[in-house]
Structure 1
Amino acid sequence: MLRSQFEEDLLNLHNQFYEMGMLVSKAIHSSVQAYIKHDRKLAQEVIQQDELVNQLEVRLEKKSFEMIALQQPVTTDLRRIITVMKASSDLERMGDHAVSIAKSTIRVKGETRMLEIEKAINEMSDYVKKMVDNVLIAYVKTDEEDAKMIAQMDNKVNQCYRDIYYQTIQSMKNNPELVVIGTDYLSVAQYLERIGDYVTNICEWIVYLATGKISELNTNRTETL
């Protein structure tokens, strides 16, 4: 009886994690769309929705601690609970970065926009969202190989960030009027780059879940330029 209850609790944890992940994925996409389309209403929705993400993380953490205290799980079961706790913390931070992008939408008023850079930010965001969606599936399947492949996708995210960085700096040098909006582009691109790092963290937790080993999957993470 106790075992079946434990299995049910574990399943609920995983389902809640997946639900939280889908909310974060949507927030990332919506925040960048809001930014590029100057849609303040959508940006506001992302900010408000983050409260739900935070609540889910608190609920997951609380339930995880409760299960460890009451059931005293060992080996694989303990790994499953630790993975949920650690990975949900990464998801919560990803949600925070989506909120930061949404706040940039509200902050930028009437600045001259650089459409080419906005297009690059949009493409970077689509790629990051793909990483997030893929990592959620890899998590559900405990797919170690997929997790390793997804971690490698972060190299492209880092390259996108570098391209946007140099392109924006060049534009700001050529036209000082673009300094305000250019600085904002750099922030948004950096938030997306950080989300890629958090996805890589989750990949590492999936490998831990599958093997019991903590490994660093992508040592080429971008430092702040």
Structure 2
Amino acid sequence: MIARGQFETELNRIKDEISEMAGKVEIAFLEAVDALYNQDLKLANKVLEGDRWIDKQEIDINNNTILTITKQQPVATDLRQLIISLRITTDLERMADHAKNIAESAIQLGESYQFSIHPAFKEMRDLAIEMIHTAMNAFQQEDVSIAGKLSGMDDRLDNQYENVIRELLAITAEDEGKTLSILQQAFVARYIERIGDHITNLGESILFLVKGESYKLN
């Protein structure tokens, strides 16, 4: 009974650490997009620096998870919970990498770029943030009905991405002088779209955790 209680304590601690990591990823994403729109290189560099701490947190969570597996030797659902924790931290770290990429695009464009940033990035960002909240809510509650909502949300984000790329290409066709700016913005659109894909992976992990079977939401 003591061993079971200790395992649940360790498992809850790992879940709390994952939620904390998700919060840091969300902040990095928000700050990266803000840096892009505000031409704020100081904020962009803050995102780059913060990514190192997120990388470290991923390593710490993974080490704690592996240590728990080694000590407790869980089976069945218990083992699945820990394996899913490893998968989720990997997706969160990759989301942070894309936030860092957006910050790097802001730096590439510089402090005084001439061309306006496409307004749809804010809509894409807001939808992706909503997806993060949905995924982490599903993770905390282990609720497959909440996780299942991510599929339709990801479809919406994909549609936004396709529309932005189409509009950016049209701008390039009209004015070749904007090509470098448009290229960086196309990268940003892709990074946000990829963040959505990784959030959808979180939903698939949660479905596997609860049902013990693999499902594709993307």
For this structure pair, what is the TM-score category when the shorter chain's length is used for normalisation?
over 0.9
Match of 2:30 in 1: 29
Q: Distance in 2 between matches of 1:87 and 1:46?
A: 21
**Gap runs ≥5 in structure 1:** 219-225
After TM superposition, the score normalised by the length of structure 1 is: 0.93
Match of 2:115 in 1: 113
Match of 2:182 in 1: 182
Match of 2:48 in 1: 47
Q: Distance in 1 between matches of 2:185 and 2:73?
A: 48
Match of 1:196 in 2: 196
* Offset, 1:151: 2.5
Segment of structure 1 superposing worse, 44-53 or 185-194: 44-53
Q: Distance in 1 between matches of 2:108 and 2:3?
A: 52
Q: Distance in 1 between matches of 2:166 and 2:79?
A: 45
Q: Distance in 1 between matches of 2:123 and 2:216?
A: 27
* Offset, 1:56: 1.2
Q: Distance in 2 between matches of 1:48 and 1:190?
A: 22
RMSD: 1.0
Residue 168 of structure 1 pairs with residue 168 of structure 2: yes
Contact 2:32 2:47 in 1 (8 A): yes
Contact 1:27 1:98 in 2 (8 A): yes
4+ residue runs of structure 1 moved beyond 4 angstroms? Answer: none
After TM superposition, the score normalised by the length of structure 2 is: 0.96
Q: Distance in 1 between matches of 2:151 and 2:206?
A: 11
Q: Distance in 2 between matches of 1:129 and 1:99?
A: 16
Match of 2:5 in 1: 4
Deviations 1:138-169 (A, max 9, x none): 11011101101122200011011101101000
Match of 1:19 in 2: 20
Contact 1:151 1:199 in 2 (8 A): no
Q: Distance in 2 between matches of 1:68 and 1:98?
A: 31
Residue 77 of structure 1 pairs with residue 94 of structure 2: no
Match of 1:127 in 2: 127
Deviations 1:104-145 (A, max 9, x none): 111113332134x2x111111111111112211111011101
Contact 1:57 1:92 in 2 (8 A): yes
- Structure 1 vs Structure 2: percent identity of aligned residues? 31
Which residue identity does 1:133 align to in structure 2? H
Q: Distance in 1 between matches of 2:205 and 2:171?
A: 40
Q: Distance in 1 between matches of 2:205 and 2:213?
A: 9
Which residue identity does 2:84 align to in structure 1? T
Contact 1:25 1:133 in 2 (8 A): no
Q: Distance in 2 between matches of 1:135 and 1:127?
A: 12
Q: Distance in 1 between matches of 2:151 and 2:47?
A: 26
Which residue identity does 1:175 align to in structure 2? D
Residue 207 of structure 1 pairs with residue 207 of structure 2: yes
Which residue identity does 2:39 align to in structure 1? H
* Offset, 1:60: 1.0
Aligned residue pair count:
216
Q: Distance in 2 between matches of 1:107 and 1:76?
A: 46
